[in-house]
Structure 1
Amino acid sequence: MPIGYKPTVFVSSTCFDLGQVRADIRELIQTFGLDPALSEYNSFPVSPDTDTISNCLRNVREKADIFVLIIGGRYGFQTDSGKSITNLEYLEAKRKGIPIYVFVNSNIMNILPIWKNNPTADFSSHVENQKVLEFVENISHFKSNWVYKFDSAQDIKSVLLQQIPYLFMDSLDARKKLKDNDIVLSTAQYPPKSARLVLEKPDGWEHLLFAELCKSYLDRLDHKKFDLEYGVSFSDVVSIENTSDVFAWITIKNNEMLKLIRITTTLVNDAAAKSFGEPGQEGNYKKIQHVCQRLLEVYEQIINWKLSFTTLEVHEDFEPILDVLSGFADDPLFKIEEFVNRVHTEIPAALHSIASNGEHVTLDFTFVLESPDVDSFERELKNIHNLYC
């Protein structure tokens, strides 16, 4: 963090029915010496080029360090997804991994069990929209959420007055661990959940860290996946007229893909296992991070490799072989995504099963890539040779 930076507390709720509550919470946040972020105040950062929803989500994503969610009787404006802005802000905070404090009006918490048993009954005297009850029920299922009841702003203030100092103590403890163990965790390389795994080292932390980092890095490349889907590339157009130069370009691209495939299999099948450490020995968090970063860098390179075909201009006779060659990227891209999503889902589930039931769990994440369609490639290559040689 830069010198002089004060943590930001983002307060999320509907504004019309909870306006005074929000004002009171804002005052408390300022008392702590923290920066409050509430959308109805002029201090709330706004980009004039984006809509209200995008602005709110961007502020959660870029500014929020602590998230306070307050749920009253209104659900608020529903977006195209069917979720309210408050709901989307909450999901953004969950993805970011920051501390979340949830406060639900006591009347809603009291009728929640009744609603669950009678979901088709009329609860309009308690909530504007039954989606409020669905939202509260969904939030209550997250084990990491501690939900507090409130009747007034004072109830919320009392909880925050108790809980914020605990959060401060956690930060001091984390700072001490970093200092004592000479650990340096940049936020770019270690998102919050990953940094916590390195500091706290729960059972199986090495595999959890690997799964969390891989998924985090993959999610950062959504824009590249969209580029590939729409064929968007800002690289310069390459125009090749000489036949021998086209053959040379094809050879170079083929060798590049073979190299990327070799790197991928080495990272997953060799380097990852070594970074976890020998049985009974602790893994190396720096090596785990390195493997994850390199794996997703290779993934990005494969996307760029395939996009390079969209900026190539050659005679139409070469288009069939270029189509076959560009398809060499499809299996590695699919397999890397599949692998990352599997480890992110199956490793935590396996460790939970071991902790809960003492069961022995075996997971096989051996990485096998299909051989490129060499037969089609050689057939098209032979056709080209017959035309030009």
Structure 2
Amino acid sequence: MILQGRKPTVFISSTCYDLKHVRNDLKNVIEEDIGLETLLSEYYSFPIDPSIGTVENCLRIVEQRADIFILIIGSRYGSTLDNGKSITNLEYLRAKAKGIPIYAFVDKTIIRNIPLWKSNPTMDFSSVVDSPQLFNFTEEVMAIDSVWIHEFEVSKDISTIIKSQLSYLFFDSLELRKSIKNSSISKKVEERSPSAIQLVLEKPLAWEYRFFSQILSDELLMCKELRKDVQYRIFMEFTDPICDLDKLKDWAIENNNKLLRIVNALSTLINEAFPKAIGDLGEPSDLDFLVYIVERISKIYKSIIDLQINISSTTIPESAQKAIECLVMIYDSVLNDIERMQEEIANAISQIPEQTTENSDSFHITIPLILNEFDTSEFIEEFKKLYIDD
């Protein structure tokens, strides 16, 4: 979607104390010389949510506010979290998942020592880095993710390069804007992610299927944090406790019936709506219809999570806990099924070549749009035990 009335925002990610002057110099260049907004966690202008922690705030800002991501790797990896990664590492992963432009800068000393570290990983590098994990992180960015790396010695090196690179990005953005204006893309499609719009503009082989896969992936990714709420039992609201077993039975059955209705709607979208939207071979697809289907799948996905949260946050008798856990697991199996379907679609489409030639071999791809029937037997058995015992 083309937004107007807002400057692009640049998130500068690095360890703070050792690169304080580099970060400050870069902030001044980006804001004063280039005219963009910057986000640096050490400044009072960094928007925080006081209800969550430091790491969550940084990741939230990358997700919600960052348009451009600048990664600076110096001699410090920084303190690690329980998952073994630093905040800078996690910020980078969030920016990569979001799909925004990433410009990476690595201290020349680190670059020079990587070959030595790879040959002698147990060698003492404490005079160069605070943790060998920094070499792992740099190698991940360079070799695994294939992000273009710029070496630097002083902050001016970064400023000079970023001015040039942002000018190229500006030109590319103008060309993309021109392409969108000259195309027949609807407002509904225009609001999709840049990766999805690129597929519509470039039209690679099987681009309609690629478009569907991309927007489905984008929508489910945005729900990832909601699933963590259930996993870690992060509940902001609590319903009234249910103490009466008869009321509990009606409540549980109603929630199970809600899931049945939701899954039926999901099945209709997949088995009836999708074939109509994608069209027959050789016919144009209805992109607005495809967007509608994905938006509804996403809405269903979120509603299942909301039901999970509602059930999990309700206080019930201890004797009924096992039965309710079984009900929550049923909901979880449907969510896993939707995620599996999305992954299988993406994997199937990844096997399609970008284009064919006269000498290309023919190929056949099956797009898996199948939902498994969820099993309620354990839930029913646990409820039977509950009322027999009663």
Which interval holds the TM-score relative to the shorter structure? Answer: 0.7 to 0.9
Which moved further from structure 2: 248-257 or 262-271? 248-257
Worse-superposed segment, 231-240 or 174-183: 231-240
In 2, are the aligned partners of 1:227 and 1:233 still within 8 Å (CA)? no
* RMSD value, Cα: 4.2
Change (3 A) 1:164 1:333: closer
Report the AA paired with residue 7 of structure 1: P
- Cα distance in 2, alignment partners of residues 96 and 320 from structure 1: 38
Q: Give the direction of change, closer, same or farther, for the CA distance of 1:165–1:217 in structure 2 (3 Å limit).
A: same
Q: Mapping of 1:1-389 within 5 angstroms? A: 4-30=5-31, 31-143=33-145, 145-184=147-186, 190-226=192-228, 228=230, 230=233, 234=237, 237=240, 256-305=258-307, 329=331, 331-344=333-346, 346-347=347-348, 349-351=350-352, 360=363, 362-370=365-373, 372-373=375-376
Corresponding residue SS for 1:29: helix
For residues 50 and 305 of structure 1, what CA distance do their matches in structure 2 show? Answer: 23
Give the TM-score normalised by the residue count of structure 2: 0.79
Structure 1: unaligned runs, 5 residues or longer: none
Gaps of 5+ in 2: none
Shift of 1:98: 0.9
Q: Distance in 2 between matches of 1:341 and 1:99?
A: 24
**Percent of aligned pairs with the same residue?**
34
Partner deviation per Cα, 1:199-254 (whole Å, 9 max, x = no partner): 433333322332232233223334543555549595755979898x9998788666
Offset of residue 170 of structure 1: 1.6
- In the alignment, is the contact (CA less than 8 A) between 1:210 and 1:289 conserved in 2? yes
Distance 2:29 2:177 in 1: 25
Task: Measure the CA separation in 2 of the matches of 1:21 and 1:185.
Answer: 41
Does the 8 Å CA contact 2:76/2:129 hold for their aligned counterparts? Answer: yes
Deviation at 1:33, TM superposition (A): 0.8
Q: In 1, distance between residues paired with 2:378 and 2:55?
A: 51
| Shift of residue 129, structure 1, vs aligned partner | 2.0
Q: How much has 1:168 moved relative to structure 2?
A: 0.8
SS at 2:92 equivalent: helix
Q: How many residues align?
A: 385
What is the CA deviation profile of residues 233-283 of structure 1, one whole-angstrom value per residue up to 9, with x for unaligned ones? 95755979898x999878866664443333222222332233333323443
Contact 1:6/1:35 (CA < 8 Å) preserved in 2? yes
- CA–CA separation in structure 1 for the residues paired with 2:189 and 2:213: 17
CA distance in 1, matches of 2:310, 2:43: 47
SS at match of 1:141: helix
Residue 167 of structure 1 and its aligned partner are, at CA, apart by 0.8
Contact 2:205 2:354 in 1 (8 A): no
**Distance in 1 (alpha carbons) for counterparts of 2:29 and 2:8:** 14
Equivalent position SS for 1:351? coil
C-alpha distance in 1 between matches for 2:319 and 2:94: 49
**How big is the shift at 1:137?**
0.4
Output the CA distance in 1 between the equivalents of 2:44 and 2:314: 50
The one-letter code sitting in structure 1 at the alignment partner of 2:368 is F
Q: Distance in 2 between matches of 1:311 and 1:50?
A: 20
What CA distance in whole angstroms lies between the structure 2 residues aligned with 1:290 and 1:314?
38
Contact 1:10 1:64 (8 Å CA) reproduced: yes
Q: 1:192 to 1:185 in 2, by over 3 A?
A: farther
Q: Which has the larger radius of gyration?
A: 1
Contact 2:22 2:155 in 1 (8 A): yes
Query: What is the CA–CA distance in structure 2 between the aligned matches of 1:132 and 1:204, rounded to whole Å?
Result: 40
C-alpha spacing 1:322/1:180, structure 2 compared with 1 (3 Å): same
